Amino acid sequence: MPGDGATLSGSAAGTTLELSAIASGEFRCWLGGHLALDTGAKTPLSAQNEAIAVPAVINITVPSAGMLLRCELRGFSKPPYRAQLLARVEGQQDPIPVPSAWLRPQLRASDEQLLAFRNKPLQAGGWNTWENLHMLNFVRLPKAVELRLDLVQKATGETLGDIHVFRRDNPARVQPGLHSLNSSQPFFMEVNVSRWAGVDCLVAFEASSQGLNAGLGILVRSFGDGCSALQLKATGRAEWGRPFIAHMANDGMIFIETPGFGANAFIPVAFPFARNMSADGGAVGFWELGDGTKLGFASEQRLSVLEIE
Amino acid sequence: MAESLLPTPTYWRDSHAALHSVIGWNTIYTPYEGMVTPVSRGWDFGSATGANYVLFDWDNLFLAQMAAVDSMDVAWANLIQILRAATA
C-alpha cells in the first residue's frame, strides 16, 4: 500500500541494513517504530537559503525480521526537489531504490502525540552527558555535537576508554558526584576517576552550562604523583554518526557544524581548546597532567581557568 | 519544565540529591528512543544491534517513578518508551 512502507526482502534479524540518502531537504526513516536515519536539514553553510544535495549514510542492524521501513522527506526550500534513498541489505550486491511512495510521513496520529510529548524536554536542547557509555562525553542537542574527554597513558598511548561505574575491563575507580536531571535546568556534573592501571592519580572533572544556548565549561584537576604519566585528550565531533563539518578559523579556533532542525540549525559550536584536526575530521587536543594540575575548557569562547572556575 | 511533585523535607536532602543525581547520570538520549533512563550505563548488551543501551521491563517503570520526584518529563519519557517496547 503506497506510503505505508514495506519490509525489505532478506532483512532478517541481525543483518546489517545500509541506508544512503541524497536529499535537498530532510530525510527521516523509521525501521519499525525506531528512528533509523535522520539526515537533518541539508543546506550549504555559505548560502543558507539555497538547498543542495548532501549524502548521508548509516548502517543499522535489523532488530527483528519483518519490520517496516517508513520514511519521511520534508523541508525543501524550493524545487526542483532532489531525493533518492537506497537500501542495501547485508550480503546483497545491489542497493534497492526505495520507492518514492514510501517517502511520506506515516506515523499514526497517536504516535505523533506520544513522540511529541516524549521529546518535549529535548526541544530546548543544551549540553548534557546524553551519550550512554562514556560519562565524559558531553553532547549538545539538538545538533548532536560532542566534546569527549579521555585519559591517555603517555608512555603507550593507551586510552582508558569509556568511563562508567563498575567497568569490568581495564578497571579504574569511577566516583560519580552530583548531576543535573535534564535540559530543563542548568547542566552540571562532577565525577572523579582514579586508580587506572595502578597509577596513583585522581582526576576530578566538573562541568556546567548555565543556559540552553550557553557554552559548556569544564574544569579538570589532577592529584597524585602518578599523574605525570597521564595525558588528557579532548575531541570534538558529531555524535551518533551524524555528518559534520569542521572548520579552522584564522585565529586557530576550530568549529564543528552539524545539520539540524529549526532556527538553531546552523550555529556552529566552537572548540577553542582544540589544537589539531583529528584523522576523522574532528577537533582534538592533548594536555599533560601532573600533581596539582588544573585545566579549563570551554566551548564557544576562549576562557581562562579562573573564568571557568 | 522540571516539576517537583513533593516538597523535600530537611531530613531528605542528602537522599534527594542522591536520587536526583542517579537519575540525572543515567538519563541519556538515543536517536532510536529519545530521552530514556537505562538501568545502568555499564549495560551494553545492545552492542550487536548498535544500540549500546538497555531498557529493562519493570525497572524502567520504577525509574519513571523515581524520576517523577523531580521531573515529570523524564518520568513520562521512560513510561512511554518502556510501554512502546511491549512485544505482545
Predicted confidence at residue B62, as pLDDT, reads: 95
Q: Assess if residue A11 is contained within a domain.
A: no
Predicted confidence at residue A49, as pLDDT, reads: 33
**Are A178 and A265 in the same domain?**
yes
Q: Assess if residue B14 is contained within a domain.
A: no
Surface of B (33-52) touching A: CB under 8 A: 33-35, 38, 40-42, 44, 48-50, 52
Q: Assess if residue A293 is contained within a domain.
A: yes
**Are A48 and A132 in the same domain?**
no
DSSP state of A8: P
Domain span at residue A255 reads 126-308
Predicted confidence at residue A152, as pLDDT, reads: 93
**Are A174 and A249 in the same domain?**
yes
Q: Assess if residue A6 is contained within a domain.
A: no
**Are A163 and A264 in the same domain?**
yes
Predicted confidence at residue B48, as pLDDT, reads: 52
**Does any CB of chain B come closer than 8 Å to the CB of residue A178?**
yes
Predicted confidence at residue A261, as pLDDT, reads: 41
Q: For A66-136, list the strands marked E by DSSP.
A: 69-74, 83-89, 96-97, 126-128
Predicted confidence at residue B65, as pLDDT, reads: 94
**Are A269 and A285 in the same domain?**
yes
Q: Assess if residue A4 is contained within a domain.
A: no
**Domains in chain A: how many in total?**
2
**Are A109 and A184 in the same domain?**
no
pTM above 0.80? no
Predicted confidence at residue A51, as pLDDT, reads: 37
**Are A36 and A142 in the same domain?**
no
**Domains in chain B: how many in total?**
1
Interface test with A, best of B15, B25, B33, B83 (most A CBs within 10 A): B25
Q: Report the residue from A115, A131, A181 with minimal CB separation from B71.
A: A181
**Are A144 and A200 in the same domain?**
yes
Surface of A (104-123) touching B: CB under 8 A: 114-115, 117-122
- The interface predicted TM-score (ipTM) is 0.85
User: Does A133 contact B52 at a Cβ distance shorter than 8 Å?
Assistant: yes
Q: Assess if residue B11 is contained within a domain.
A: no
Among residues A149, A147, A164, the alpha carbon closest in space to that of A215 is found at: A147
**Which of A89, A118, A147 represents a domain boundary (last residue)?**
A118
**Are A151 and A175 in the same domain?**
yes
Q: How far is B31 from chain A (nearest CA, A)?
A: 6
Residue A185, SS3? coil
Q: Assess if residue B2 is contained within a domain.
A: no
Domain span at residue B44 reads 26-84
User: Does B84 contact A33 at a Cβ distance shorter than 8 Å?
Assistant: yes
Q: For A24-62, list the strands marked E by DSSP.
A: 26-31, 34-38, 54-61
Predicted confidence at residue A87, as pLDDT, reads: 72
User: Does A179 contact B1 at a Cβ distance shorter than 8 Å?
Assistant: no
Q: Report the residue from A185, A189, A240 with minimal CB separation from B2.
A: A185
Cβ neighbours of B1 in A, within 8 Å: 184
A150 CB neighbour count, 10 Å cutoff: 19
Q: How far is B74 from chain A (nearest CA, A)?
A: 8
- Which grid cell is B83? 510501554
- Distance between CA A290 and CA A226 in Å, rounded? 7
**Are A138 and A253 in the same domain?**
yes
By the 8 A CB rule, do B39 and B54 touch?
A: yes
User: Does B73 contact A184 at a Cβ distance shorter than 8 Å?
Assistant: yes
Q: Assess if residue A145 is contained within a domain.
A: yes
Average pLDDT, chain B: 78
**Does any CB of chain A come closer than 8 Å to the CB of residue B56?**
no
Q: Which residue has the higher pLDDT, A262 or B47?
A: B47
Q: Assess if residue A9 is contained within a domain.
A: no
**Which of A101, A118, A135 represents a domain boundary (last residue)?**
A118
Would you place residue B87 in the very low, low, confident or very high pLDDT band (cuts 50, 70, 90)?
low
- Distance between CA A223 and CA A210 in Å, rounded? 27
Surface of B (6-35) touching A: CB under 8 A: 17, 20-21, 23-25, 27-35
Beta bridge mates, A36: none
CATH number assigned to the domain comprising residue A300? 2.70.98
Q: For chain B, list the strands marked E by DSSP.
A: 28-30, 34-36
Q: Assess if residue B43 is contained within a domain.
A: yes
**Are A147 and A112 in the same domain?**
no
For chain A, the first-to-last Cα distance in angstroms comes to 59
User: Does A129 contact B70 at a Cβ distance shorter than 8 Å?
Assistant: no
Tens of pLDDT along chain A (309 residues) come to 224 456 665 666 667 777 766 655 566 677 766 667 766 554 433 223 333 344 456 666 666 676 777 766 654 333 444 556 677 776 766 666 666 555 544 455 666 666 666 666 665 568 899 888 899 999 887 777 888 999 999 999 899 888 888 766 778 889 999 999 876 678 999 999 998 888 899 999 999 988 666 788 899 999 999 999 999 988 888 787 666 777 777 676 777 776 544 333 444 667 666 666 666 667 788 889 999 999 887 787 667 777 777
Q: Assess if residue B6 is contained within a domain.
A: no
Q: Assess if residue B72 is contained within a domain.
A: yes
User: Does B24 contact A119 at a Cβ distance shorter than 8 Å?
Assistant: no
**Which of A54, A83, A118 represents a domain boundary (last residue)?**
A118
Predicted confidence at residue A151, as pLDDT, reads: 94
Cβ neighbours of B71 in A, within 8 Å: 121, 181-182, 184
**Are A198 and A274 in the same domain?**
yes
Q: Report the residue from B31, B50, B74 with minimal CB separation from A181.
A: B74
- Distance between CA A50 and CA A65 in Å, rounded? 40
User: Does B29 contact A130 at a Cβ distance shorter than 8 Å?
Assistant: yes
